[in-house]
């Protein structure tokens, strides 16, 4: 981890009581405001052990920033400073939308968790495209993913994903099709086999001619075995580059926070075991032929290592930073390097699917 990230973590530890006394969404917006003036990162945390290849892209290290932190692509330029090996912005919808009424973001401190019902609040793809174009002009030392979704009041959600693909694919290293947020009514129905086939056909048709970008699909953890089998079959048939396992959960394991009954998607520590099991399930269903990216409840190198050995090529974090500080990505990356060497792997990527 860089000296910069270490100093930032130390400052965050001192400020955490004040930050946690502030409304969660307000604190998040203050964080973004503090990061925006930072200089553009020119280097990435990497090593021969950490560098990972997926979908024709080189990831300096396998620890990425999950979408939701930087919805509008305002601070992607700064995130490699903290050790991230890739950054995913969004979710971005074709038109700007306010999202659900506030309050809509809750810290469950006792459970080291978050519940959100944000509802794809964002400024729209056109505004983000201007910022990403500028970012591309100056360069970014890590791959940039753009996560696309449908507007809440859209009359044709498949058309929203197609237009999002056309608008954002030229600016992205990869696209993520997000059909697993629980906070847009009916969105998860696009995970059904027939709807998913139609959706991915629409996305494929909207790709830039001769310059198609890898497409990742983000799925929910709240799936039955038959659902997983169907998604895997469609993903393989349509040539998806990877599946991201998983988004937030609508289930409620044992929680102790006073916010436990809030509606929305649960993320953070209580999601960890469910999300790990879903990686195993998708690995088994595909026989290891479908690349996977793990998200949900990852807060340490050992947890990230378990996801990789279960079958994930990359991992993503977000909620854990609220409790562990902004230097978490760098700590996880360096920890993965140590664990790979300890377990006899020349590269972290050699351990993908090697078992727990």
CA atoms of 344 and 90, how far apart (whole Å): 37
Known catalytic membership, residue 181: yes
The set of residues, in sequence order, having a beta carbon less than 8 Å from that of 145 and lying 6+ positions away, is 64, 67, 86, 87, 88, 89, 172, 173, 174, 175, 176, 216
Other Cβ atoms less than 10 A from the Cβ of 219: the count is 24
Nearest CA among 271, 279, 277 for reference residue 248:
271
Biggest CA–CA distance in the chain, Å, is 53
Q: Which helix (H) or strand (E) holds 47?
A: none
Catalytic residue among 154, 163, 181, 313: 181
Q: What angle do CA 88, 74, 82 make, to 5 degrees?
A: 60
169 exposure class (CB count in 10 Å sphere: 0-12, 13-18, 19+): buried
For tokens 């955490």, name the residue.
16
Active site residues: 181
């Amino acid at each position: 981890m860089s000296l910069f990230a270490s100093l930032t973590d130390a400052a965050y530890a001192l400020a955490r009581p004040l930050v946690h006394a502030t409304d969660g969404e307000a604190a998040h917006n203050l964080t973004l405001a503090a990061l925006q003036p930072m200089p553009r990162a020119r280097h990435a945390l990497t090593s021969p052990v950490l560098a990972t290849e997926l979908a024709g892209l080189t990831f300096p290290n396998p620890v990425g920033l999950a979408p939701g932190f930087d919805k509008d692509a305002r601070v992607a330029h700064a995130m490699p400073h903290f050790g991230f090996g890739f950054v995913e912005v969004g979710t971005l919808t074709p038109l700007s939308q306010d999202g659900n009424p506030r309050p809509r973001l809750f810290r469950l401190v006792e459970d080291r968790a978050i519940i959100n019902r944000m509802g794809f609040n964002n400024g729209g793809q056109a505004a983000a495209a201007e910022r990403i174009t500028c970012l591309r002009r100056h360069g970014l030392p890590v791959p940039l993913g753009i996560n696309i979704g449908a507007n809440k009041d859209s009359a044709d959600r498949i058309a929203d994903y197609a237009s999002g693909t056309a608008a954002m694919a030229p600016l992205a290293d990869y696209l993520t099709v997000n059909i697993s947020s629980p906070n847009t009514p009916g969105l998860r129905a696009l995970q059904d086999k027939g709807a998913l086939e139609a959706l991915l056909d629409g996305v494929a048709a909207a790709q830039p001619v001769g310059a198609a970008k890898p497409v990742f699909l983000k799925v929910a953890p709240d799936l039955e075995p038959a659902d997983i089998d169907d998604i895997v079959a469609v993903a393989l048939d349509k040539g998806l580059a990877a599946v991201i396992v998983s988004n937030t959960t609508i289930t409620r394991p044992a929680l102790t926070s006073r916010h436990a009954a809030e509606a929305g998607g649960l993320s953070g520590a209580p999601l960890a075991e469910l999300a790990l099991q879903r990686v195993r399930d998708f690995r088994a269903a595909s026989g290891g032929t479908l690349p996977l990216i793990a998200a949900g409840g990852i807060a340490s190198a050992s947890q990230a290592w378990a996801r990789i050995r279960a079958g994930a090529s990359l991992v993503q974090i977000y909620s854990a930073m609220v409790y562990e500080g902004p230097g978490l990505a760098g700590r996880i990356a360096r920890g993965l390097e140590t664990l790979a060497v300890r377990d006899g792997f020349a590269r972290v990527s050699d351990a993908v699917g090697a078992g727990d």
